[in-house]
Amino acid sequence: MELSATLGFRSPFPCTPISSTEQSLNLLKPIRQKFSSNTTLTVATAKKKSNIEGVSEELNALASQNLDFAPSRRRVREAFREVQQQLDHFLFKTAPAGIRTEEGYERNSRGLEIFCKSWMPESGIPLKAALCFCHGYGSTCTFFFEGIAKRIAASGYAVYAMDYPGFGLSEGLHGYIPSFDDLVDDVIENYTKIKERPEVRGLPRFILGQSMGGAIALKVHLKEPNNWDGVILVAPMCKIAEGMLPSTTVLKVLNLLSKVMPKAKLFPHKDLSVLSFREPGKRKVAGYNVISYDDPTRLKTGMELLSATQEIESQLHKVSAPLLILHGAEDKVTDPLVSQFLYEKASSKDKTLKMYEGGYHGILEGEPDDRIFAVHNDIISWLDFRCSLK
């Protein structure tokens, strides 16, 4: 699930902030009075999670518990590990054998335990480069990305990924981004350590970002423009589509609410999984990623992402690294025209834009099998060519 539709890339910003607490109800009263009757603020409760087909009542009960904090997310992921390994999805069924994986936790400079994972090719295959991954909003660096990482690793790449604070298996309140800049700094800190590892020292370094992860990858590059040999963006969240910004009144309400109850959640206006996965079967499989964040978006998170996209949009001309942009032509979550805008504005001398006809938002995992295979091959081919120039 991606926040970009909520933020108005393709549809208007919802104006229905919610909270289940009495305090939040009281806070909304003066705000209702302050703004015109055209701005309706509705209080509701968070949605109840649906049962996952084919698993026991015990596992469903475990998946339905409060996952606000990392210990509960880690228990749920461990409980579902065997179930996930048996899922019927192209990425799981065709994953190359012999890939060496390693996962664990590292405490960062802000005192948070960050979950990290790596995938290496079979022993004896020389490494070509390091590839660091930035996942999308609500998502994780495991599950679907496991199959993607194995495909890329089998081609001779050391692939590294992390869960951001508040997402996946890392510490932090689930789905909460109090500062987008701090999140970017967390990513820089972690991947700086990765790039210093003996196995990849001296090799080319690339960063891959999907959707919100594309915004993170762009900000990482803008903060350290000379530290990456290439940037790969998949359906990046980097600009609000023209005419789709929230109204000034709604923005004022959201901004005010984010200051008084930043962790409160917004009421979602549509099921973004339908917009992300073109194939219903693959959409169903996505429900088994039980530690993904699919509750209503928290107020502060929403405002931070909106602010980040506006800042990125103003700096697109500073993007200078070799650049590969991949986007589904029928994406209703992040507008393909935004990728075209990025391609035109970037100052990179080496830049490529690929649009996939009929493709939805999740072109790495939600398309027909042959399309998924083609997108992965496009990434690998692009990497191979840049490595051959080194």
Q: What is the DSSP string of 282-318?
A: HHHHHTT-TTS--SPPBHHHHHHHHHHHHHHHTTGGG
* pLDDT recorded at residue 241: 59
> Pairing state of beta strands 17-18 and 113-120?
unpaired
Spatial separation of the C-alpha atoms in residues 184 and 224, rounded to whole Å? 11
Q: How far apart are CA 361 and CA 214, in angstroms?
A: 13
pTM assigned to the model? 0.89
| Residue-wise pLDDT tens digits, 147-198 | 999 999 999 999 999 999 999 999 999 999 999 999 999 999 999 999 999 9
Q: On the CB side of 209, how many CA atoms lie within 13 Å of its CA?
A: 23
> What's the rounded Cα separation, in Å, for the pair 273 and 15?
21
Confidence of residue 270 (pLDDT cuts 50, 70, 90): low
Cβ distance 110 to 183 under 8 Å? no
Would you state the structure tokens that stand for residue 145, as one six-digit string? 């990305």
* pLDDT score of 25: 42
For residue 280, report the phi and psi dihedrals to the nearest 5 degrees. Answer: -55, -35
The whole-angstrom distance between residue 144's C-alpha and the CA centroid of its chain comes to 12
Q: Is the pLDDT of residue 373 over 60?
A: yes
From CA 304, how far away is CA 356, in angstroms rounded?
30
- What single-letter amino acid sits at 131? L
The DSSP H or E segment spanning 73 is helix 70-85
With bands split at pLDDT 50, 70 and 90, how would you rate the model's confidence at 269? low
Report the alpha-carbon angle 262-263-266, nearest 5.
Answer: 90
- On the question of pLDDT at 11 being above 60, the answer is no
Is the Cβ–Cβ distance between 190 and 162 less than 8 Å? Answer: yes
Token pair, residue 119, equals 């995938």
> Looking at 43-52, 297-306, 315-324, 344-353, which range is the least confident one?
43-52
Give the largest Cα separation in the chain, rounded. 69
Backbone phi and psi for residue 188, each to the nearest 5 degrees, phi listed first: -60, -45
CATH superfamily for 17-44+55-388 is Alpha/Beta hydrolase fold, catalytic domain (3.40.50.1820)
pLDDT score at 37: 37
> What local confidence, expressed as pLDDT, does residue 49 receive?
66
Identify whether the C-beta of residue 118 lies closer than 8 Å to the C-beta of residue 88: no
Chain center to CA of 98: 27
Average the pLDDT over 89-110 and give the result. Answer: 96
Q: How far apart are CA 381 and CA 383, in angstroms?
A: 5
Number of C-beta neighbours around residue 232 at 10 A: 26
If one compares 32 and 350, the residue with the highest pLDDT of the two is 350
